Amino acid sequence: QCLAPTIAHLLPLFCHFYPMPKHSMVTNLRLASIGVLAIVALAVATEVSPFIGLVMLIPALVLCWQQFLSEESDKRKMRSAYEQGEASLETAKYEQAIEEFSRIFAMAESRLWVFGEFSSLAETFGSRGFAYQQMGDESNATADYRQANRLKPQLKTSHLYHGSLKTRKGNYQDAMQSFDRAIRFAPQSPDVYHHRGDAYFRLGEYEKARTDLSHAIALSADYSPTVYRLRGMIQLYEGEAQGALIDFVQANALKPSALQCWYLSIAQQQLGLHSERMTSLEEAIRLDPNFVFAYYGRGNIRHYTGDVDGARAAFLYAKDLEDKRVATINPTDPQGFYERGFARHHMGNTSGAIADLKKAKELCEHYRYQTFQPTVDAALAEITG
């Protein structure tokens, strides 16, 4: 007599605690059956016999086991998709990575999870956000980073990637907050100090940047050549050419590149190591035949050593690279504008030389490159008379 009223009272309560997703009919039916069987077994155990009630509970337990196996099967599929997405990230296949990560979210949203959700949803949001970021989709990247931070505030990578995205957009103060959180959760990770040091560098807070970059190096001496290059640039700006030289040598040893050879040549120039500088410029050109500043620098060295024909050939080749848009100059490099300015001066383009040297002076003032600015001022005075 009490069976029907009991079911009538408990079934709405069951449905309240287990809302049914729209796209998981099998799971919905299974859970509804478990609920009904459990209620019936409870009623029978109360009104008829505990033993009979326990026997009637067995089908509900079987359905629970089936639900568990079903969820574990889906989690294995999601883990496989996650691994494939991460593999795609490593090979820069960002569209494929986004597709794999999105599959995980589609599976996570299409069913009711009874025995625990997929444990790496926060990491999946962070990784998909990074893929979006690499493709230039900052809106979706930001949305995914926020979701990752919401699900797992202690996740280092989402704070790190979110901070790097803010840095790219010029929101350095906001980026600092993300990097500070990343460091709080991963104080022994060199990459968070690297990225925060980069943000400090862009803000012109060189002492803080240098501290962070040195901390990253202390945690992992062979972590990244960029850390050494950034710290070397700070030392150049502060007049510590010997320290800069050591950092640029180390950066090039970790991963040779035209850019690292270029900065190494700048430190060598400031130390008066002119033959070594020519070697570094030749290596920069070998690594990147379109590295335009290296041609201007090589041409200027040839001009000062009396090789006028060789200098002119280097200048014309660099100019041709720019005219054909094969290569462009770095708009933030005062030393590069200085080299091109003198190259233009040697080629008789006085107005172009003055424009470049004024740009070099402007960049020196902006980056507080006080040890190089007198050299630029002297060059301007020489050309303008």
Mean pLDDT of 63-71: 70
CA nearest to 380, candidates 336, 348, 345: 345
Whether the pLDDT of residue 2 is over 50: the answer is: no
Helix axes 274-287, 292-304, angle to 10 degrees: 150
* pTM of the predicted structure, to 2 decimals: 0.69
Mean pLDDT of 213-226: 93
Contact residues for 355 (Cβ-Cβ < 8 A; gap 6+)? 341
pLDDT per position as a tens digit, 21-42:
444 555 555 566 666 666 666 6
Whether the pLDDT of residue 323 is over 80: the answer is: yes
The C-alpha atoms of residue 132 and residue 102 are separated, in whole angstroms, by 12
Q: Which pLDDT score is estimated for 134?
A: 80
The DSSP code sequence of 74-94 is HHHHHHHHHHHHHHHHHTT-H
CB 32 within 8 A of CB 43: no
Q: What is the SS3 assignment for 116?
A: coil
Q: Which helix or strand (DSSP H or E) is residue 102 part of?
A: helix 94-109
CB 204 within 8 A of CB 230: no
pLDDT per position as a tens digit, 157-172:
777 777 777 787 788 8
CA nearest to 173, candidates 142, 194, 206, 202: 202
**Rounded to 5 degrees, what angle do the CA atoms 206, 209, 210 make?**
85
Q: Which pLDDT score is estimated for 173?
A: 82
Whether the pLDDT of residue 214 is over 80: the answer is: yes
